[in-house]
Amino acid sequence: MRALASRVAEKEIISANRAGVRIAALLLAAYILAFAQRQLPAAMSEAMLSRFGLSDAGFALLLGACFALPYATLAIIAGALADRVNRLRLAGTGLAIASLATIGSTLAVDSTDLITLRLFIGVGQSALVPAAYSILGDIVAPGRAGGVAAGFATGPFIGMGLAFVASGQLAGGPDGAVAFFLMGVGGLVATVPLLMMKEPARAAARPTKGDGSAPSASWRMVACVDLALGFAAMGCHALAGWGALWLCRVHNYSHSSAILAFGLIIALAGVAGSIMAGSLRSSVLPYRLVRRLGLMAGHAMAAAALCYALFSAPAGWVLVLLAVAVTFAAAATIAGPVALQEMTLPARRGRQHGIAIAVVNLVGSAGGPLIVGLVSGAAGEPDAIGLALKIAVPAMFAGSALFATGALLLRNRRGSAGNAGAAILDRKTA
Q: pLDDT value at position 422?
A: 38
**381-398 mean pLDDT:** 85
Total structural domains within the chain:
1
Which residue did the predictor score with more confidence, 188 or 286?
Answer: 188
Query: Which range marks the domain in which residue 187 is found?
Result: 23-197+213-429
pLDDT for the residue numbered 121:
92
The reply to whether 11 falls in a domain is no
In a domain, 204, yes or no: no
Residue 173 to residues 122, 176, 187: CA-CA distances in angstroms?
A: 25, 6, 22
Give 279's contacts (C-beta < 8 A, 6+ positions apart). Answer: 147
Residue 146 in any domain: the answer is yes
213 has a pLDDT exceeding 90 = no
Asked if 327 and 269 count as a contact pair (C-beta separation under 8 A), the reply is yes
Predicted local distance difference test score (pLDDT) of residue 425: 35
The predicted-structure confidence for 273-310, as pLDDT tens digits, reads as follows: 888 877 665 455 556 778 888 889 999 999 999 999 99
pLDDT at 323: 93
- Taking residue 355's Cβ as centre, other Cβ atoms within 10 Å add up to 20
| Residue at 123 is within a domain | yes
Residue 303 falls inside a structural domain: yes
Specify if 9 maps to a domain.
Answer: no
User: What is the domain-level CATH number for residue 118?
Assistant: 1.20.1250.20
Percent of the chain with pLDDT over 70: 80
Range in 198-207, 238-247, 340-349, 419-428 with the lowest mean pLDDT: 419-428
Q: pLDDT: is 36 or 170 the higher one?
A: 36
pLDDT digits (tens, 9 = 90+) for 226-250: 899 989 989 988 888 788 888 888 8
Per-residue pLDDT reduced to its tens digit, 100-122: 999 988 887 777 888 888 899 98
User: Is residue 16, in this structure, part of any structural domain at all?
Assistant: no
Q: Does pLDDT of 151 surpass 90?
A: no
Q: Which residues neighbour 272 within 8 Å (Cβ) at sequence distance 6 or greater?
A: 327, 330
Range name among 175-179, 234-238, 261-265, 267-271 with the lowest pLDDT average:
175-179
The answer to whether residue 5 is domain-embedded is no
Neighbours of 282 (CB within 10 A): 15
E-strand ranges in 118-227 read none
Q: What is the pLDDT of residue 142?
A: 64
